[in-house]
Amino acid sequence: MSLDHNTRIPMPSVTSVPEYQLSGLPFCETKLATQAATFTFPRVTRWFVIKSTQETKIFFKTGNDGENQYFTLPANTVSPRLELRCAKLYATTTVNADIEVIAGLTHILAERSVPEAMLDWIE
């Protein structure tokens, strides 16, 4: 019997509570952003922390809908641990910046995350 489509052992989804009770799988990535950077996680995050050498805007979606959905990380600071589930982060800066992301990942595949188009909670 294949485990890929086994109903007795279902694949985890973004609503699987145990995935958020476990420790996260480690993930680290650093990018030099000249204007913009995209961080794509291989799995859905349980939490993440961001550090930047310059003032940086952090977005959770792209396009015109996402322009007002960001927070600003001051230069040379570290964000608090953000307990958010996402598959991508977008960053913009006006000057060159080293942006570091440290995350704890779940076992949920990124393609099983909430579609970015549904992140429209702010109008």
Q: Which domain holds residue 23?
A: 17-118
- pLDDT greater at residue 90 or residue 11: 90
Give yes or no for a contact between 104 and 25, defined as CB atoms under 8 angstroms apart.
Answer: yes
Is 67 a domain residue?
yes
Number of other CB atoms surrounding residue 44 within 10 Å? 26
Here the CATH number for the domain that contains residue 85 is: 2.60.120.10
pLDDT for residue 114: 66
| pLDDT value at 1 more than 50 | no
Does some domain include residue 88?
yes
Q: In this structure, is residue 9 part of a structural domain?
A: no
User: Is there a domain that residue 102 lies in?
Assistant: yes
Q: Note whether residue 56 is domain-resident.
A: yes
Q: How far apart are CA 50 and CA 82, in angstroms?
A: 9
Q: Is 18's pLDDT higher than 90?
A: no
The total of structural domains in the chain comes to 1
Token pair in block for residue 117:
């188009």
Mean pLDDT of 25-50: 93
DSSP string, 11-26: PP-TT-HHHHHSPPEE
pLDDT of residue 76 exceeding 50, the answer is: yes
The answer to whether residue 76 sits within a structural domain is: yes
Q: What are the pLDDT digits (tens) for 46-64?
A: 999 999 999 999 988 776 5
- Residue scoring higher pLDDT (19 or 86): 86
